[in-house]
Structure 1
Amino acid sequence: MKKNQWFWLVAIIGLILDRLTKYWVVQSFDTTGDTVPIWSGVFHFTYVINTGAAFSFFKGGAGWLRWLSLIVSLGLIFLAWYAPRMRLIEQLGYGFILAGALGNGIDRFVMGYVVDFLDFRLINFPIFNLADVFINVGIFCLLIASLPTKPSAKRNLSKENNLDQNFK
Protein backbone atom coordinates (compact mmCIF):
# COMPACT_ATOMS: atom_id res chain seq x y z
CA MET A 1 0.00 0.00 0.00
CA LYS A 2 3.00 2.29 0.40
CA LYS A 3 3.90 2.32 -3.26
CA ASN A 4 0.64 3.95 -4.41
CA GLN A 5 -0.40 5.66 -1.20
CA TRP A 6 -2.32 8.53 -2.85
CA PHE A 7 -4.49 5.97 -4.64
CA TRP A 8 -5.47 4.34 -1.35
CA LEU A 9 -5.94 7.65 0.46
CA VAL A 10 -8.21 9.11 -2.22
CA ALA A 11 -10.19 5.86 -2.55
CA ILE A 12 -10.78 5.53 1.20
CA ILE A 13 -11.63 9.19 1.83
CA GLY A 14 -13.84 9.31 -1.27
CA LEU A 15 -15.70 6.15 -0.24
CA ILE A 16 -16.25 7.50 3.27
CA LEU A 17 -17.57 10.84 1.93
CA ASP A 18 -19.88 9.06 -0.49
CA ARG A 19 -21.28 6.74 2.19
CA LEU A 20 -21.75 9.57 4.72
CA THR A 21 -23.57 11.84 2.26
CA LYS A 22 -25.90 9.06 1.11
CA TYR A 23 -26.59 8.09 4.71
CA TRP A 24 -27.38 11.73 5.49
CA VAL A 25 -29.82 11.92 2.56
CA VAL A 26 -31.64 8.71 3.49
CA GLN A 27 -31.91 9.79 7.14
CA SER A 28 -32.88 13.41 6.41
CA PHE A 29 -35.53 12.99 3.71
CA ASP A 30 -38.83 11.24 4.35
CA THR A 31 -39.56 10.06 0.81
CA THR A 32 -37.96 10.03 -2.59
CA GLY A 33 -38.63 13.21 -4.49
CA ASP A 34 -38.26 15.39 -1.39
CA THR A 35 -36.09 18.41 -2.10
CA VAL A 36 -34.32 21.17 -0.18
CA PRO A 37 -33.28 24.23 -2.15
CA ILE A 38 -29.76 25.40 -1.36
CA TRP A 39 -30.03 28.11 -4.02
CA SER A 40 -33.60 28.10 -5.23
CA GLY A 41 -33.93 27.22 -8.89
CA VAL A 42 -30.19 26.63 -9.21
CA PHE A 43 -29.04 23.91 -6.81
CA HIS A 44 -31.10 21.61 -4.60
CA PHE A 45 -30.59 18.47 -2.56
CA THR A 46 -33.23 16.13 -3.98
CA TYR A 47 -33.60 12.53 -2.82
CA VAL A 48 -34.04 10.11 -5.72
CA ILE A 49 -33.23 6.48 -6.31
CA ASN A 50 -31.54 5.36 -9.51
CA THR A 51 -31.79 1.78 -10.74
CA GLY A 52 -29.55 2.51 -13.70
CA ALA A 53 -26.07 3.84 -14.35
CA ALA A 54 -24.88 7.42 -14.14
CA PHE A 55 -27.59 9.94 -15.07
CA SER A 56 -30.20 7.11 -15.10
CA PHE A 57 -28.87 5.44 -18.24
CA PHE A 58 -29.78 1.72 -18.36
CA LYS A 59 -32.71 2.11 -15.94
CA GLY A 60 -33.37 -1.17 -14.20
CA GLY A 61 -29.85 -2.41 -14.97
CA ALA A 62 -28.72 -2.62 -11.34
CA GLY A 63 -28.27 -6.39 -11.68
CA TRP A 64 -25.45 -6.32 -14.18
CA LEU A 65 -24.18 -2.90 -13.01
CA ARG A 66 -23.45 -4.28 -9.54
CA TRP A 67 -21.17 -6.88 -11.10
CA LEU A 68 -19.52 -4.28 -13.32
CA SER A 69 -18.82 -2.15 -10.22
CA LEU A 70 -17.32 -5.16 -8.47
CA ILE A 71 -15.11 -6.12 -11.42
CA VAL A 72 -13.89 -2.53 -11.90
CA SER A 73 -13.20 -2.20 -8.16
CA LEU A 74 -11.27 -5.47 -7.97
CA GLY A 75 -9.32 -4.60 -11.12
CA LEU A 76 -8.29 -1.21 -9.70
CA ILE A 77 -7.31 -2.72 -6.36
CA PHE A 78 -5.23 -5.33 -8.19
CA LEU A 79 -3.62 -2.60 -10.33
CA ALA A 80 -2.66 -0.47 -7.33
CA TRP A 81 -1.39 -3.44 -5.34
CA TYR A 82 0.63 -5.28 -7.98
CA ALA A 83 1.53 -2.79 -10.71
CA PRO A 84 4.63 -0.61 -10.50
CA ARG A 85 4.37 2.72 -8.74
CA MET A 86 2.04 5.02 -10.65
CA ARG A 87 2.51 8.73 -11.26
CA LEU A 88 0.61 10.97 -8.83
CA ILE A 89 -2.03 12.00 -11.39
CA GLU A 90 -2.68 8.33 -12.19
CA GLN A 91 -2.96 7.43 -8.51
CA LEU A 92 -5.49 10.22 -8.02
CA GLY A 93 -7.44 9.23 -11.13
CA TYR A 94 -7.68 5.55 -10.31
CA GLY A 95 -8.33 6.31 -6.62
CA PHE A 96 -11.28 8.56 -7.46
CA ILE A 97 -12.69 5.97 -9.85
CA LEU A 98 -12.37 3.26 -7.19
CA ALA A 99 -14.15 5.46 -4.61
CA GLY A 100 -17.03 6.01 -7.02
CA ALA A 101 -17.24 2.40 -8.21
CA LEU A 102 -17.26 1.10 -4.63
CA GLY A 103 -19.72 3.73 -3.42
CA ASN A 104 -22.30 3.03 -6.11
CA GLY A 105 -21.49 -0.69 -6.11
CA ILE A 106 -22.28 -0.98 -2.39
CA ASP A 107 -25.63 0.72 -3.01
CA ARG A 108 -26.44 -1.67 -5.85
CA PHE A 109 -25.52 -4.79 -3.88
CA VAL A 110 -27.23 -3.74 -0.64
CA MET A 111 -30.34 -1.90 -1.90
CA GLY A 112 -30.62 -2.69 -5.62
CA TYR A 113 -30.40 1.00 -6.52
CA VAL A 114 -28.17 4.05 -6.04
CA VAL A 115 -29.05 7.06 -3.89
CA ASP A 116 -28.71 10.33 -5.82
CA PHE A 117 -29.22 13.83 -4.44
CA LEU A 118 -27.13 16.53 -6.17
CA ASP A 119 -29.64 18.44 -8.27
CA PHE A 120 -28.38 21.27 -10.54
CA ARG A 121 -31.61 22.75 -11.84
CA LEU A 122 -30.17 25.79 -13.57
CA ILE A 123 -28.92 23.62 -16.42
CA ASN A 124 -31.56 20.87 -16.02
CA PHE A 125 -28.84 18.32 -15.32
CA PRO A 126 -29.68 14.76 -14.14
CA ILE A 127 -29.52 14.25 -10.38
CA PHE A 128 -26.33 12.49 -9.26
CA ASN A 129 -24.18 11.75 -6.19
CA LEU A 130 -20.59 12.10 -4.98
CA ALA A 131 -19.62 8.69 -6.38
CA ASP A 132 -20.58 9.94 -9.85
CA VAL A 133 -18.51 13.09 -9.26
CA PHE A 134 -15.53 11.00 -8.16
CA ILE A 135 -15.72 8.77 -11.24
CA ASN A 136 -15.77 11.83 -13.51
CA VAL A 137 -12.90 13.52 -11.63
CA GLY A 138 -10.95 10.27 -11.94
CA ILE A 139 -11.54 10.08 -15.68
CA PHE A 140 -10.47 13.72 -16.01
CA CYS A 141 -7.23 12.97 -14.09
CA LEU A 142 -6.50 10.00 -16.36
CA LEU A 143 -7.13 12.12 -19.44
CA ILE A 144 -4.59 14.64 -18.14
CA ALA A 145 -2.18 11.78 -17.42
CA SER A 146 -2.52 10.56 -21.01
CA LEU A 147 -1.53 13.90 -22.54
CA PRO A 148 1.97 13.95 -24.01
CA THR A 149 4.49 15.68 -21.82
CA LYS A 150 7.13 18.07 -23.05
CA PRO A 151 10.64 16.80 -22.57
CA SER A 152 12.35 18.79 -19.88
CA ALA A 153 15.26 21.08 -20.76
CA LYS A 154 17.54 18.96 -18.59
CA ARG A 155 16.64 15.81 -20.51
CA ASN A 156 17.22 17.56 -23.86
CA LEU A 157 20.63 18.80 -22.72
CA SER A 158 21.70 15.33 -21.66
CA LYS A 159 20.61 13.92 -25.05
CA GLU A 160 22.57 16.63 -26.85
CA ASN A 161 25.64 15.91 -24.73
CA ASN A 162 25.33 12.22 -25.55
CA LEU A 163 25.11 13.04 -29.27
CA ASP A 164 28.16 15.33 -28.98
CA GLN A 165 30.08 12.52 -27.27
CA ASN A 166 29.17 10.09 -30.06
CA PHE A 167 30.51 12.37 -32.77
CA LYS A 168 33.85 13.13 -31.05
Structure 2
Amino acid sequence: MNYILSFIVLALDQISKILVLKYLKNIGEFPVIKNFLHFTYVENRGAAFGILQHQKWFFITMTILIVGFIIIYFRKERGYPKPMMIALSLIVGGAIGNFIDRVVHGFVVDFIDFRIWPVFNIADSAIVIGQVLVVYVIIKYDKLEQKEM
Protein backbone atom coordinates (compact mmCIF):
# COMPACT_ATOMS: atom_id res chain seq x y z
CA MET A 1 0.00 0.00 0.00
CA ASN A 2 2.77 2.45 0.92
CA TYR A 3 4.55 2.12 -2.39
CA ILE A 4 1.30 2.28 -4.36
CA LEU A 5 0.34 5.62 -2.81
CA SER A 6 3.85 6.98 -3.39
CA PHE A 7 3.67 5.86 -7.02
CA ILE A 8 0.23 7.48 -7.52
CA VAL A 9 1.51 10.80 -6.15
CA LEU A 10 4.64 10.54 -8.31
CA ALA A 11 2.64 9.70 -11.45
CA LEU A 12 0.14 12.55 -10.94
CA ASP A 13 2.96 14.97 -10.26
CA GLN A 14 5.03 13.99 -13.28
CA ILE A 15 2.07 13.85 -15.68
CA SER A 16 0.95 17.30 -14.57
CA LYS A 17 4.46 18.68 -15.05
CA ILE A 18 4.78 17.14 -18.51
CA LEU A 19 1.52 18.87 -19.46
CA VAL A 20 2.68 22.14 -17.93
CA LEU A 21 5.97 22.02 -19.85
CA LYS A 22 4.17 21.18 -23.07
CA TYR A 23 1.23 23.61 -22.89
CA LEU A 24 1.89 26.27 -20.24
CA LYS A 25 5.58 27.07 -20.51
CA ASN A 26 5.17 29.12 -23.68
CA ILE A 27 2.11 31.08 -22.54
CA GLY A 28 3.25 31.53 -18.91
CA GLU A 29 -0.15 31.74 -17.27
CA PHE A 30 -3.68 30.44 -17.64
CA PRO A 31 -6.51 31.70 -15.39
CA VAL A 32 -8.69 28.80 -14.21
CA ILE A 33 -10.79 30.98 -11.88
CA LYS A 34 -9.84 34.59 -12.52
CA ASN A 35 -8.10 36.31 -9.59
CA PHE A 36 -8.32 33.12 -7.52
CA LEU A 37 -6.72 30.10 -9.21
CA HIS A 38 -4.31 30.39 -12.10
CA PHE A 39 -1.88 27.94 -13.63
CA THR A 40 1.36 29.91 -13.74
CA TYR A 41 4.61 28.45 -15.07
CA VAL A 42 7.47 28.88 -12.59
CA GLU A 43 10.96 27.38 -12.55
CA ASN A 44 11.79 27.03 -8.86
CA ARG A 45 15.53 26.65 -8.32
CA GLY A 46 15.17 26.65 -4.55
CA ALA A 47 12.93 25.11 -1.92
CA ALA A 48 9.64 26.27 -0.42
CA PHE A 49 9.01 29.97 -1.11
CA GLY A 50 12.15 29.97 -3.28
CA ILE A 51 14.59 29.80 -0.36
CA LEU A 52 18.07 28.34 -0.86
CA GLN A 53 18.17 29.23 -4.55
CA HIS A 54 20.61 27.27 -6.75
CA GLN A 55 21.38 24.62 -4.12
CA LYS A 56 20.54 21.73 -6.48
CA TRP A 57 23.08 19.28 -5.08
CA PHE A 58 22.05 19.98 -1.50
CA PHE A 59 18.42 19.13 -2.37
CA ILE A 60 19.39 16.04 -4.36
CA THR A 61 21.54 14.75 -1.49
CA MET A 62 18.90 15.48 1.16
CA THR A 63 16.18 13.82 -0.93
CA ILE A 64 18.24 10.65 -1.35
CA LEU A 65 18.92 10.52 2.40
CA ILE A 66 15.33 11.23 3.48
CA VAL A 67 13.67 8.92 0.96
CA GLY A 68 16.22 6.21 1.75
CA PHE A 69 15.48 6.53 5.46
CA ILE A 70 11.71 6.35 4.88
CA ILE A 71 12.02 3.28 2.62
CA ILE A 72 14.12 1.51 5.25
CA TYR A 73 11.48 2.52 7.80
CA PHE A 74 8.72 1.05 5.58
CA ARG A 75 10.53 -2.26 5.42
CA LYS A 76 11.32 -2.49 9.13
CA GLU A 77 8.25 -1.09 10.85
CA ARG A 78 4.85 -2.65 10.46
CA GLY A 79 3.06 -1.59 13.65
CA TYR A 80 2.81 2.15 13.29
CA PRO A 81 -0.57 3.84 12.80
CA LYS A 82 -1.97 3.92 9.28
CA PRO A 83 -1.96 7.77 9.15
CA MET A 84 1.82 7.70 9.73
CA MET A 85 2.37 5.27 6.87
CA ILE A 86 0.09 7.33 4.59
CA ALA A 87 1.98 10.48 5.59
CA LEU A 88 5.35 8.96 4.78
CA SER A 89 4.02 7.58 1.48
CA LEU A 90 2.87 11.06 0.47
CA ILE A 91 6.23 12.54 1.42
CA VAL A 92 8.14 9.90 -0.57
CA GLY A 93 6.01 10.36 -3.69
CA GLY A 94 6.32 14.14 -3.54
CA ALA A 95 10.03 14.12 -2.76
CA ILE A 96 10.79 11.80 -5.68
CA GLY A 97 8.65 13.96 -8.00
CA ASN A 98 10.62 17.10 -7.18
CA PHE A 99 13.87 15.09 -7.21
CA ILE A 100 13.20 14.03 -10.81
CA ASP A 101 12.67 17.68 -11.77
CA ARG A 102 15.94 18.77 -10.18
CA VAL A 103 17.93 16.01 -11.88
CA VAL A 104 16.29 16.32 -15.32
CA HIS A 105 15.68 20.07 -15.56
CA GLY A 106 17.87 21.63 -12.86
CA PHE A 107 14.77 23.18 -11.28
CA VAL A 108 11.34 22.19 -9.99
CA VAL A 109 8.32 22.94 -12.17
CA ASP A 110 5.66 24.80 -10.17
CA PHE A 111 2.31 25.86 -11.58
CA ILE A 112 -0.57 25.96 -9.05
CA ASP A 113 -1.10 29.63 -8.23
CA PHE A 114 -3.72 30.82 -5.73
CA ARG A 115 -2.38 34.39 -5.96
CA ILE A 116 -2.07 34.76 -2.17
CA TRP A 117 0.47 31.96 -1.80
CA PRO A 118 3.69 31.08 -3.61
CA VAL A 119 3.24 28.92 -6.73
CA PHE A 120 3.52 25.18 -6.00
CA ASN A 121 2.89 21.74 -7.56
CA ILE A 122 1.31 18.37 -6.75
CA ALA A 123 4.52 17.04 -5.18
CA ASP A 124 4.68 20.04 -2.85
CA SER A 125 1.05 19.46 -1.85
CA ALA A 126 1.72 15.80 -1.06
CA ILE A 127 4.77 16.69 1.04
CA VAL A 128 2.86 19.31 3.05
CA ILE A 129 -0.15 17.02 3.62
CA GLY A 130 2.27 14.27 4.65
CA GLN A 131 3.99 16.59 7.12
CA VAL A 132 0.66 17.65 8.62
CA LEU A 133 -0.29 13.96 9.06
CA VAL A 134 3.05 13.24 10.75
CA VAL A 135 2.41 16.06 13.22
CA TYR A 136 -1.14 14.76 13.77
CA VAL A 137 0.15 11.27 14.58
CA ILE A 138 2.80 12.62 16.93
CA ILE A 139 0.21 14.70 18.80
CA LYS A 140 -2.51 12.00 18.76
CA TYR A 141 -0.44 9.08 19.99
CA ASP A 142 1.55 8.91 23.20
CA LYS A 143 3.58 6.07 21.77
CA LEU A 144 3.90 5.45 18.05
CA GLU A 145 3.67 1.71 18.71
CA GLN A 146 -0.10 2.06 19.26
CA LYS A 147 -2.09 0.62 16.39
CA GLU A 148 -5.59 1.90 17.08
CA MET A 149 -6.88 5.41 16.53
Residue 50 of structure 2 corresponds to residue 56 of structure 1: yes
Return the alpha-carbon distance in structure 2 between the equivalents of residues 85 and 102 of structure 1.
25
Gaps of 5+ in 2: 143-149
Counterpart for residue 23 of structure 2: 28
Counterpart for residue 119 of structure 1: 113
The code of the aligned residue for 2:81 comes to R
Structure of larger gyration radius = 1
Residue 90 of structure 2 contacts residue 129 of structure 2 at CA under 8 Å; is this kept in 1?
yes
Matches within 5 A, 1:6-155: 7-31=2-26, 34-121=28-115, 123=116, 125-149=117-141
SS at match of 2:78: coil
% identity of equivalent residues: 30
Using the size of structure 2 for normalisation, the TM-score is: 0.89
Residue 28 of structure 2 contacts residue 41 of structure 2 at CA under 8 Å; is this kept in 1?
yes
Deviation for aligned residue 1:120: 0.7
Deviation for aligned residue 1:135: 0.5
Would you say how many aligned residue pairs link Structure 1 and Structure 2?
A: 142
Residue 70 of structure 1 contacts residue 101 of structure 1 at CA under 8 Å; is this kept in 2?
no
Return the alpha-carbon distance in structure 2 between the equivalents of residues 66 and 41 of structure 1.
35
The code of the aligned residue for 2:77 comes to A
Return the alpha-carbon distance in structure 1 between the equivalents of residues 39 and 52 of structure 2.
23
Residue 63 of structure 1 contacts residue 112 of structure 1 at CA under 8 Å; is this kept in 2?
no
SS at match of 2:3: helix
Q: What's the CA shift string for 1:8-44, capped at 9, x where partnerless? A: 222111111111111110011243x700000111110
Gaps of 5+ in 1: 151-168
Question: CA RMSD, aligned part only?
Answer: 1.5
Taking a change above 3 Å as real, the CA distance of residues 85 and 8 of structure 1, as seen in their structure-2 partners, is farther
Which of 1 and 2 has higher RCO (CA within 8 Å, sep 6+)? 2
